[in-house]
A and B are shown apart, each in its own frame.
Chain A
């Protein structure tokens, strides 16, 4: 669902993700000072694999919801929703994600996704993401150190 947003004071988050080795696929590694941030970073990492995000301007904002049975399931469905946002109408590439509801009791997420529709010629073509997998998925929560990380293998 497309929602309104203000371009005043719009800040892009710093990059806290990387791509790790896997024979046929790629592993996304996102981190942050909260689990919410690690989720957001992991989502942006996926879009960064599909195109070069520096060519993306923020013109639209869509809101998505995701639910899961456990924390891994929530991460899986969150990324699956984002992939769907890209794969069909509105074909959105996101440069920034902002999770507005992060409910770890009921495993629910509401997220605002900022970016613009993918356009050939404007956005370089990266690699196509086929699917999200549970393969070697890890959600690391180290509250003492204030470090939260997620690892997800995407099928490409």
Chain B
């Protein structure tokens, strides 16, 4: 890492406009392209403060600030356009979280990096609608929260309740949501409203280690812990009435369910295994990076291809996982209201993946190019008329689901043409952490956090008490700042705002 005083570092950063900064070449060594990040004045302070803190001379330990990580990614072989930081960016493993980068598939030197996907492969958000309104659920809120908590296995050490053996797992890894459909856990139309129709076709379970499968099997159909959650939300604001109605959201007060989860231990192990393999490939192919954590391999190398196939299997695992929880959620609601999920109109509005690498076609310098797009803590946001979005959303643009934090609001955005041009059709994914977990535990009081949620009228069920502080809204950036920045920059457009009334967490 280049060590310079803070004022020197600032010379490499240029504010282009109110919500966009440029990172010039030279900020980190060997940058092939420039970097860029989207922030408003409040997020800008957090970003620069992180950089300032890392500039202290003689400091031991510590970690790279997000802005340095964007620049290190810009130095990877084969990157095109710019290395992009979204407003919810914070320091991560190799890539920052909230970082996207695209690599030219036709350049033999281009790389794929598991760090650019993250440990939780195909972590994502799914939104289910209902035809219920706040007044229908207000008195049942606590019971509903408890019922969801009883139906969905959550937290460390919980095991899935969907019957599954090793052979089922192999099939699920290959088939993704087609498996869930065949087994009767989802509806045919659910698939339509998922990226890739809930199945990556290049998945190859044979490229996945036994260890990953052993970790995955007991965890299929579990929510997980950390920042994962299931929330019952009500529509709080509609910004774009026409697009919202295309999603089946007609009025304020309508009840929806948001599920945020990923590929569990399966994906974590696939990522770990790939990092180990790629360290060797890097030595062999003499790939130099600025940071050991940016382990990568050429896309066309055996390691690169194996990773993409294993990653696709993990992506399928995640879709099956979210589908299993969709099934359990529908059951919980149907039982509570003594009707059927059908009659409750519990359709999937959309399902996004915010930790993934995909092959996509984009215009670069006026030419169409085939790119491997890494989105880590970043959501795809394709504009209207894009061939890869479902018929129902052809005119609105792809719905983008942005989860807030326990007790804060969440948003549905839509993709824009501007986002397609500026950020390879990518936008933010959530709030992004602002405080460290340990700091949250020290500064916040368990009871205060719960009291506050109670005052806001939010029912909560949490498996791990210390998570209450770690995941408190105060520990995160303000999701509204994040979303407003994306909207102002034009890389996605605000459509619906929701606020939670019940939260289930690990």
Q: Which residues of A contact B (CB under 8 A)?
A: 19-27, 50-51, 80, 84, 86-89, 91, 118-120, 123-128, 130-136, 138, 151, 153, 155-156
Provide 30 A-B residue pairs closer than 8 Å at the C-beta atoms, listed in order of the A residue.
A21-B436, A21-B438, A22-B436, A23-B90, A25-B437, A27-B61, A84-B214, A86-B157, A87-B215, A88-B218, A118-B157, A119-B157, A120-B157, A124-B464, A125-B155, A125-B463, A125-B506, A127-B156, A127-B437, A128-B156, A128-B224, A128-B225, A128-B226, A130-B120, A132-B272, A135-B63, A135-B93, A138-B61, A156-B226, A156-B437
Contacts of B63 in A (CB 8 A): 22-23, 135-136, 153
Contact of A125 (CB < 8 Å), options: B90, B435, B464, B470: B464
Residues of B in contact (CB 8 Å), total: 44
Given contacts A26-B438, A125-B464, contact A91 B157 (CB under 8 A): yes
Contacts of A123 in B (CB 8 A): 157
The SS class assigned to the A binding surface is loop
Contact of A23 (CB < 8 Å), options: B269, B272, B436, B465: B436
Contacts of A133 in B (CB 8 A): 93, 293
B370 within 8 A of A: no
Q: A23-B433, A135-B63, A136-B61 are in contact. List 16 more A-B contacts (CB 8 A).
A: A20-B61, A23-B63, A24-B90, A24-B92, A84-B269, A87-B215, A91-B157, A125-B157, A125-B463, A134-B275, A135-B93, A135-B293, A138-B61, A153-B63, A155-B93, A156-B226
Residue of B nearest to A117 (CB): B157
B205 within 8 A of A: no
B164 to chain A, nearest CB (A): 13
User: Considering the chains assembled together, what is the distance between the CA atoms of A150 and B178 in angstroms?
Assistant: 46
User: Considering the chains assembled together, what is the distance between the CA atoms of A136 and B62 in angstroms?
Assistant: 7
- A151:B61 contact, CB within 8 angstroms: yes
A48 to chain B, nearest CB (A): 12
B211 within 8 A of A: yes
User: Considering the chains assembled together, what is the distance between the CA atoms of A2 and B439 in angstroms?
Assistant: 39
Given contacts A20-B438, A135-B63, contact A128 B506 (CB under 8 A): yes
Contacts of B437 in A (CB 8 A): 21-22, 24-26, 127, 156
- A84:B90 contact, CB within 8 angstroms: no
Contacts of B215 in A (CB 8 A): 84, 87-88
Contacts of A84 in B (CB 8 A): 211, 214-215, 269
A86 to chain B, nearest CB (A): 8
B318 to chain A, nearest CB (A): 13
Contact of A87 (CB < 8 Å), options: B97, B119, B155, B265: B265
Contacts of A153 in B (CB 8 A): 63
- A24:B293 contact, CB within 8 angstroms: no
Residue of A nearest to B377 (CB): A24
Residues from 447 to 506 in B contacting A, C-beta threshold 8 Å: 463-467, 470, 506
- B466:A24 contact, CB within 8 angstroms: no
- B265:A126 contact, CB within 8 angstroms: no
User: Considering the chains assembled together, what is the distance between the CA atoms of A156 and B292 in angstroms?
Assistant: 20
User: Considering the chains assembled together, what is the distance between the CA atoms of A25 and B470 in angstroms?
Assistant: 11
| Cβ-closest 4 pairs across A and B | A128-B225, A88-B214, A125-B155, A118-B157
Residue of A nearest to B442 (CB): A21
Residue of B nearest to A51 (CB): B156
Residue of A nearest to B154 (CB): A125
B495 to chain A, nearest CB (A): 28
User: Considering the chains assembled together, what is the distance between the CA atoms of A43 and B375 in angstroms?
Assistant: 32
- A126:B214 contact, CB within 8 angstroms: no
B104 to chain A, nearest CB (A): 28
Residues from 71 to 96 in B contacting A, C-beta threshold 8 Å: 90-93
Interface-centre pick from B62, B226, B433 (highest chain A CB count, 10 A): B226
A25 to chain B, nearest CB (A): 7
B369 within 8 A of A: no
Residues from 415 to 435 in B contacting A, C-beta threshold 8 Å: 433, 435
Given contacts A26-B438, A125-B157, contact A131 B271 (CB under 8 A): yes
